Amino acid sequence: MMQSSEIRKRFLEFFKGKNHAIIPSASLLPENYPIPDKGSLFTTAGMQPLIPYLLGEKHSEGVRLVSVQKCIRTGDIEDVGDNRHLTFFEMLGNWSLGDYFKKESIAWSLEFLTDTEKGLGLDPKRLFVTVFKGEDGIPRDDESIKHWKENFGKFNIAVEVAGEDEIIKGDVRIVPLGKEDNFWIAGTTGPCGGDTEIFYDVIGEEKGGKVEGSFQTLVKSGRIIEIWNNVFMEFNKKADGTYEKLSKPNVDTGMGLERTTVVMQEKNNVYETDLFTSLMKEDTKENRIVADHIKAAVFILSEGVEPSNTGSGYVLRRLIRRAVRYGADFSLAEKVIELYKDAYPELLKNKERILENLKLEEERFKLTLEKGLKELRRKFEWIRTLSGTIKDPIDGKWCFDLYQTHGFPLEMIFEELEVLAKIFKYDLKINKENISKEFDEEMKRHQELSRTASAGMFKGGLAGTSEVETRYHTATHLLRQALEEVLGEEIIQKGSNINTERLRFDFSFSRKLTDEEKQKVETLVNQKISESLPVQKVVMTKEEAEKTGAVHSFSDKYGDEISIYFIGDTLETAWSKEFCGGPHVINTKEVGKFKITKEEPSSAGVRRIRAMVE
For the cut 50, the answer to whether the pLDDT of residue 33 exceeds it is no
Angstrom distance (rounded) from CA 334 to CA 337? 5
Q: Of 188-192, 305-309, 474-478, where does the model show the most confidence?
A: 474-478
Second-level CATH architecture of 4-272: 2-Layer Sandwich (3.30)
What pLDDT digit, counting tens, does each position of 202-237 carry? 999 999 999 999 999 999 998 999 999 999 999 888
Average of per-residue pLDDT values in the chain: 87
Per-residue pLDDT reduced to its tens digit, 531-543 = 989 888 888 888 8
Residue with more model confidence, 334 or 408: 334
Distance CA 422, CA 426 (A): 7
Where along the chain do the CATH 3.30.930.10 domains lie? 4-272
Assess whether pLDDT exceeds 50 at residue 453: no
404/128: higher pLDDT: 128
In this predicted structure, what is the pLDDT of residue 449? 54
pLDDT for position 462: 34
In whole angstroms, give the CA distance from residue 501 to residue 554: 25
Could you give the angle at the alpha carbon of 606 between the alpha carbons of 602 and 611, nearest 5°? 65
Q: Which fold has domain 467-613?
A: Threonyl-tRNA Synthetase; Chain A, domain 2 (3.30.980)
CB–CB of 225/261 below 8 Å? no
pLDDT at 556: 46
Give yes or no for residue 582 having a pLDDT over 90.
Answer: no
Section 565-582 average pLDDT: 87
Given this model, what pLDDT does residue 179 score? Answer: 92
Least trusted range by pLDDT, from 205-214, 303-312, 459-468, 509-518: 459-468
Q: 36 preceded by cis ω (within 30°)?
A: yes
Output 449 or 288, whichever has higher pLDDT. 288
Residue ranges matching CATH 3.30.980.10 in the chain: 467-613
Phi, psi at 566, each rounded to 5°: -130, 150
pLDDT at residue 538 in the model: 85
Q: Do 285 and 81 touch, CB atoms closer than 8 A?
A: yes
Residue 45: pLDDT above 90? Answer: no
**In the structure, what pLDDT confidence band is assigned to residue 604 with cuts at 50, 70 and 90?**
confident
Band of residue 31 on the pLDDT scale cut at 50, 70, 90: low
Query: What's the rounded mean pLDDT across residues 428-441?
Result: 88
Question: Among 81-90, 302-311, 511-520, 565-574, which stretch is predicted with the lowest mean pLDDT?
Answer: 302-311
Report pTM: 0.67
